[in-house]
Structure 1
Amino acid sequence: MGRPHKPLLDRERITATALELVDERGDFSVPQIARRLGVQTGSVYHHVDGRDGIVELLRERVAEAIDVTALDARPWDAALEAWARSYRAAFAAHPRAIPLLMTNPVRAPRVLEQYERAVTLLGEAGFPAPAVMPALVALENVVLGSALDLAAPEAMWEVADAAATPRLVEALEAAGDHRADRAFDLALEGFLVHLRERLTAYTGA
């Protein structure tokens, strides 16, 4: 029997399978990956550093869709806005991965490099070091919360008795389509306005 053209198992296939499981179920296990690939569980461990290693491969896979070159733009607030929108789109494609990735420490080198660039952007703009990470984490809260919102039903409020909540019904009817996108625009705009004000306070400019 001739040798297969592709190996039965490699990091690429492990990552793709793990992401499929996360998209379907919100989590994965190494035995589940092995079963889906038709190999022994021990074979998976020959290619990855356990579950934590797979989580970091997933992080890198999802983050590949983020346009890191946006952080090269200037002024700083335009760069941050473009990066945030790309970041949201990348995670909105895999919303079930968000709880998994956001509750595990970031170790993936390519992802850390994105943070390095974001930190550099804010530092060069004039933000003092103690203010940089709170700003980035706050931005992530906006981005990832909105990415989850994109995966939610358009009608998140089901009102059985309109007479009991008439103002809510009126507000829902007035909201129209694309609620999640407009809510993200509002939150991101407010966040950037606040950062600009903070920067002015820091620099006096």
Structure 2
Amino acid sequence: MARPRTPLLDRERIATTALQLVAEQGEFSVPQIARALGVQTGSLYHHVDGRAAVVELIRERVCASIAGSALALTPWDRALEEWARSYRAAFAAYPRAIPLLMTTPVRAPAVLAQYERAVALLLAAGFGEEQVMPLLTALENLVLGSALDLAAPEAMWEPSPQTPLLAGALAAGGPGRADAAFDLGLEALLAHARALRAARA
């Protein structure tokens, strides 16, 4: 029998199927991926070394659209802002993957390389080594929380007659609540980062 021109199974198909399962149900299992692909579970282990490896394939797929090139922009705060906006957009496309990816250690080489560049950016800008990870973690918390917020209903509160102040604030805020909140949080974080950097000068 002639071998098929297109392989029946590869890492790309595994990643695509796993991400589809996560998008549908927020989770996946290796047997579920095998069933969806019409193969035996053992066949997957010729391509990935267990569930943790599949998680990293998902991470690479989601993070592939983050504009790592933004980290080469100047000045440093513009670079960080553009990177954060791109990061948010990438994860907003797959909100149900966020809990999965944020509760497992990052091992994907391409993703680690972006963090390496972000660390290099902050060190070159004059931040102390001890300041770098708190800043990046705070930025990531803001980005991922906002990415989830984008997947939420525009109206997250349902005021009652007993909450007229809330109703008024919601009406005054207008549409685009998630974007406005992200812009506010990002500017506050960058302002704090500028202050930390100035204090070291």
Once residues 171 and 154 of structure 1 are traced to their aligned partners in structure 2, the CA distance between those partners, rounded to angstroms, is 14
Match of 2:57 in 1: 57
Once residues 132 and 94 of structure 1 are traced to their aligned partners in structure 2, the CA distance between those partners, rounded to angstroms, is 27
Q: CA deviation at 1:49?
A: 1.0
Q: CA deviation at 1:7?
A: 1.0
TM-score, normalising length: structure 1: 0.96
Match of 1:17 in 2: 17
Match of 1:97 in 2: 97
Match of 1:129 in 2: 129
Once residues 157 and 44 of structure 1 are traced to their aligned partners in structure 2, the CA distance between those partners, rounded to angstroms, is 44
Match of 2:5 in 1: 5
Once residues 96 and 158 of structure 2 are traced to their aligned partners in structure 1, the CA distance between those partners, rounded to angstroms, is 23
Secondary structure at the counterpart of residue 95 of structure 2: coil
Once residues 70 and 116 of structure 2 are traced to their aligned partners in structure 1, the CA distance between those partners, rounded to angstroms, is 13
Is residue 2:199 matched to residue 1:201? yes
What letter corresponds to residue 27 of structure 1 in structure 2? Answer: E
Aligned pairs for 1:32-43 (under 5 A) are 32-43=32-43
Cα shift readout 1:101-142 (whole Å, capped 9, x = no counterpart): 011001110000000000000000000100101100000001
Once residues 54 and 196 of structure 1 are traced to their aligned partners in structure 2, the CA distance between those partners, rounded to angstroms, is 38
Match of 1:173 in 2: 171
Q: CA deviation at 1:2?
A: 3.8
TM-score, normalising length: structure 2: 0.98
Which stretches in structure 1 are left out of the alignment for 5+ residues? none
Cα shift readout 1:129-175 (whole Å, capped 9, x = no counterpart): 0010110000000100000000001111123x3x2000001111111
- Give the count of matched residue pairs: 201
Q: CA RMSD in A?
A: 0.8
Which stretches in structure 2 are left out of the alignment for 5+ residues? none
Identity %: 69
What letter corresponds to residue 7 of structure 1 in structure 2? Answer: P
Once residues 190 and 46 of structure 2 are traced to their aligned partners in structure 1, the CA distance between those partners, rounded to angstroms, is 46
Once residues 92 and 34 of structure 1 are traced to their aligned partners in structure 2, the CA distance between those partners, rounded to angstroms, is 27
Once residues 4 and 152 of structure 2 are traced to their aligned partners in structure 1, the CA distance between those partners, rounded to angstroms, is 42
Is residue 2:46 matched to residue 1:46? yes
Cα shift readout 1:29-88 (whole Å, capped 9, x = no counterpart): 000000000001111111101000000111111110000000001100000000000000
Match of 1:70 in 2: 70
Secondary structure at the counterpart of residue 198 of structure 1: helix
Aligned pairs for 1:137-152 (under 5 A) are 137-152=137-152
Match of 2:162 in 1: 164
What letter corresponds to residue 101 of structure 1 in structure 2? Answer: L
Match of 1:110 in 2: 110
Once residues 131 and 173 of structure 1 are traced to their aligned partners in structure 2, the CA distance between those partners, rounded to angstroms, is 39
What letter corresponds to residue 185 of structure 2 in structure 1? Answer: A
